[in-house]
């Protein structure tokens, strides 16, 4: 069964008759139940803290602000990642006007980051900064495109620092469609900022008031990972911002409540789930009756139209993530464009890229990275590497096996922790409960009926529990403790789990400030097409394997990919582009070249062509404006 050697190498077997330990697993008592209830209240408060901190009304002390503790405040950009800015005092007059000068701040940032030598990054930064500095009335719609590792987040952080030094941080909002992506840029989820998705019993008046509080001072909105935003979602975001900023748009036809919008991402990745992409053919060239005659379809058409209103485009060309392996960078670029090299024909200029390429075809190059073909020493390097696959069925099988192997290797037990299911608020009878526990995770939106867990294993959070504490959908950690109830048949039901998540600083357990309490959460799913089943379960999954969709936006030091299961060219591209080099990527099992050499979809080809034209136009316009300004400055100096 295990021809790859994956299970055998990853966790070595213990000697027979080794006694197993249950350390970290505790049966819930009346005392711990009361403690869990208290934790539930604290977690619910943290969960509500998912939107910007609003300034209190005049006369109200700042201590009344809605915040749990100081360590959840947004850190200044100077402390984040590799961006080490010089300390700058913000000089402002009492009326808030910057006395040093935005142009000087911009020049300092460009110098400190070395952006002057990267024309695309420089152009993107200056377009945003100059729009703010000159107070331009024209609404800014800018798309900063680029593959993973091209420096898009780098630009976001530079822009944030520019606004900070200008004393205008409160005028910019950072957002992303997922919790993980929002955490990476120290922002918020766009859903939380716009109160999406819509609720059945939502009160429009109170919602509008809340929206207005959030957006009344905002002039610039950043949306990262735009490839995950569907046409429908973009239309809904626009509608909510128009609602929030209605006074600004009276008598105008401006979008997004007249807020300037900067979007970033790589549209060459996977399409949004169960919803048309921003450039889907059925919204652009092949509009069907189903699209024209339904509310959802018309809304998607509007979203696609909004997307095409973005006329300014900057494409970041350089891949910093894989720069130590230029051959691999070229391979990724070819696969993304549906131009993988077959090794028999001469490379086109576009396929050659930077001129450094592997001697073998792209298929042979990837095929040679199969685990079973690697030496034992090389295979050992991937012992802790996550596995990316395309289906939840494969993911769940791998996760269960590796959870069991982890338990055996560490002299522990693996237990299934069952969900509590109900219908119309009443518990299911045992016969029906047994059936619902067997339903696949793809049908229950990852709320699994039987959750395999073992103390010390890797787990992934599947819900946005506490955004500012970095406990979000996709966050990974180590399972440290479980409190559970056991029924008369010996089945376990989790009441609380403690997961150690780096830098969460949640401080709710004496053993560690990063030990986060995870409480069972409610959800619902369809059963046999006509029943809505309620389910209460820990929002956790084993984190040894995850799907291609879940891997988007991640940069992994080591990764194993299941290319055999890739359903599309975009799926294959997303999998292999998580690696920083060819040597840091291994292929799980044998695969056929069909998907690798498949033709890129027409909608992708058309959109890439359109964006290239807009990028060229934006570049020409930018260079013309700056050359004109330079000439004007020279003439002015000559006059004096």
Q: How far apart (Å, rounded) are the C-alpha atoms in residues 79 and 589?
A: 42
- For residue 36, the model assigns a pLDDT of 87
Asked whether the predicted pLDDT for residue 549 surpasses 50, the reply is yes
Share of the chain above pLDDT 90, in %: 72
Mean pLDDT (the chain, rounded): 88
Mean pLDDT computed over 279-295: 90
CB 26 within 8 A of CB 423: no
Mind listing the domains of the chain with CATH numbers? Answer: 22-48+415-543 (no CATH), 88-272 (3.40.50.300)
- For residue 324, the model assigns a pLDDT of 82
Q: Could you give the C-alpha distances from 639 to 343, 592, 629, 631, 633, in angstroms and in order? A: 63, 71, 15, 13, 10
Burial class (CB in 10 A: 0-12, 13-18, 19+), 53: middle
Q: How far apart (Å, rounded) are the C-alpha atoms in residues 145 and 192?
A: 24
- For residue 630, the model assigns a pLDDT of 61
- For residue 367, the model assigns a pLDDT of 97
pLDDT digits (tens, 9 = 90+) for 389-411: 999 999 999 999 999 999 999 99
Helix (H, G, I), strand (E, B) or coil at 337: coil
Confidence band for 57, pLDDT divided at 50, 70 and 90: very low
Asked whether the predicted pLDDT for residue 415 surpasses 50, the reply is yes
- For residue 403, the model assigns a pLDDT of 98
Q: Give the lowest-confidence range in 9-18, 334-343, 371-380.
A: 9-18
Asked whether the predicted pLDDT for residue 39 surpasses 90, the reply is no
Mean pLDDT computed over 443-458: 97
- For residue 43, the model assigns a pLDDT of 80
238 CB neighbour count, 10 Å cutoff:
20
Asked whether the predicted pLDDT for residue 535 surpasses 90, the reply is yes
Asked whether the predicted pLDDT for residue 319 surpasses 60, the reply is yes
- For residue 93, the model assigns a pLDDT of 42
**Alpha-carbon dihedral of residues 339, 340, 346, 349, nearest 10 degrees?**
50
- For residue 315, the model assigns a pLDDT of 98
Mean pLDDT computed over 162-189: 95
Asked whether the predicted pLDDT for residue 94 surpasses 70, the reply is no
Q: How far apart (Å, rounded) are the C-alpha atoms in residues 233 and 490?
A: 45
CA-nearest of 244, 252, 261, 256 to 302 is 256
CA-nearest of 109, 114, 118, 117 to 77 is 109
- For residue 627, the model assigns a pLDDT of 84
Mean pLDDT computed over 14-35: 76
CA-nearest of 502, 449, 459, 505 to 482 is 459
CA-nearest of 304, 301, 227 to 271 is 227
Asked whether the predicted pLDDT for residue 75 surpasses 90, the reply is no
- For residue 61, the model assigns a pLDDT of 42
Mean pLDDT computed over 159-163: 97
Mean pLDDT computed over 84-97: 50
pLDDT digits (tens, 9 = 90+) for 198-250: 776 667 778 899 999 999 999 999 999 999 999 999 999 999 999 999 877 77
Confidence band for 20, pLDDT divided at 50, 70 and 90: low
- For residue 19, the model assigns a pLDDT of 57
């Amino acid at each position: 069964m295990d021809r790859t050697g994956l299970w055998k190498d990853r966790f070595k077997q213990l000697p027979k008759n080794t006694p197993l330990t249950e350390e970290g697993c505790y049966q819930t008592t009346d005392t711990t139940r009361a403690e869990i209830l208290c934790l539930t209240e604290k977690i619910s408060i943290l969960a509500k803290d998912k939107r910007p901190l609003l300034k209190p009304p005049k006369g109200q002390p700042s201590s009344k602000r809605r915040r749990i503790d100081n360590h959840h405040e947004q850190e200044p950009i100077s402390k984040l990642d590799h961006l080490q800015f010089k300390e700058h005092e913000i000089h402002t007059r009492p009326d808030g006007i910057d006395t040093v000068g935005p142009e000087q701040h911009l020049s300092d940032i460009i110098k400190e980051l070395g952006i002057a030598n990267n024309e695309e990054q420089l152009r993107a930064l200056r377009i945003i900064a100059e729009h703010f500095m000159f107070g331009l009335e024209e609404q800014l719609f800018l798309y900063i495109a680029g593959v993973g590792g091209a420096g898009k987040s780098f630009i976001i952080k530079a822009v944030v620092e520019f606004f900070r030094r200008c004393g205008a941080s409160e005028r910019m909002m950072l957002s992303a469609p997922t919790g993980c992506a929002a955490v990476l840029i120290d922002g918020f989820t766009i859903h939380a900022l716009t109160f999406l998705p819509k609720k059945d019993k939502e009160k429009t008046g109170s919602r509008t008031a809340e929206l207005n509080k959030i957006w009344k001072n905002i002039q610039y909105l950043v949306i990262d990972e735009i490839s995950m935003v569907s046409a429908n979602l973009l239309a809904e975001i626009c509608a909510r911002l128009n609602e929030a900023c209605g006074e600004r748009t009276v008598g105008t036809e401006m979008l997004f409540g007249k807020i300037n919008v900067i979007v970033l991402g790589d549209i060459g990745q996977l399409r949004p789930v169960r919803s048309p992409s921003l450039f889907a053919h059925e919204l652009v060239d092949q509009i069907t009756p189903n699209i024209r005659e339904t509310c959802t379809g018309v809304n998607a058409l509007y979203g696609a139209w909004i997307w095409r209103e973005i006329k300014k485009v900057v494409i970041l060309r350089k891949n910093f993530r894989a720069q130590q392996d230029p051959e691999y960078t070229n391979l990724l670029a070819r696969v993304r464009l549906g131009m993988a090299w077959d090794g028999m024909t001469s490379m086109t200029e576009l396929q050659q890229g930077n001129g450094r390429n592997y001697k073998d075809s792209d298929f042979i190059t990837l095929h040679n990275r199969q685990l079973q073909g690697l030496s034992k020493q090389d295979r050992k390097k991937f012992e802790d590497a996550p596995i990316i696959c395309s289906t939840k069925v494969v993911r769940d099988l791998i996760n269960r096996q590796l959870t069991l192997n982890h338990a055996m290797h560490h002299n522990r037990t693996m237990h299934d922790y069952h969900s509590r299911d109900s219908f119309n608020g009443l518990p299911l009878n045992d016969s029906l409960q047994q059936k619902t526990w067997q339903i696949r995770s793809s049908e229950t939106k990852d709320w699994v009926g039987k959750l395999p867990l073992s103390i010390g294993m890797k787990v992934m959070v599947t819900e946005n529990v506490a955004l500012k504490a970095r406990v979000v959908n996709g966050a990974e950690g180590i399972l440290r403790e479980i409190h559970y109830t056991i029924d008369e048949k010996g089945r376990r039901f989790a009441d609380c789990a403690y997961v150690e998540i780096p830098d969460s600083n949640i401080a709710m357990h004496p053993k560690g400030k990063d030990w986060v309490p995870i409480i069972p959460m409610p959800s619902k799913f369809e059963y046999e097409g006509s029943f809505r089943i309620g389910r209460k379960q820990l929002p956790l999954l084993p984190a040894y394997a995850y799907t291609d969709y879940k891997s988007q936006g991640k940069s992994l030091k080591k990764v194993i990919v299941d290319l055999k299961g890739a359903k599309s060219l975009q799926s294959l591209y997303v999998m292999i582009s998580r690696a920083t080099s060819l040597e840091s990527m291994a292929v799980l099992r044998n695969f056929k070249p069909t998907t690798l050499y498949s033709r890129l979809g027409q909608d992708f080809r058309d959109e890439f062509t359109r964006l290239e034209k807009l990028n060229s136009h934006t570049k020409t316009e930018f260079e013309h404006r700056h050359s004109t300004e330079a000439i004007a400055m020279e003439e002015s100096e000559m006059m004096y």
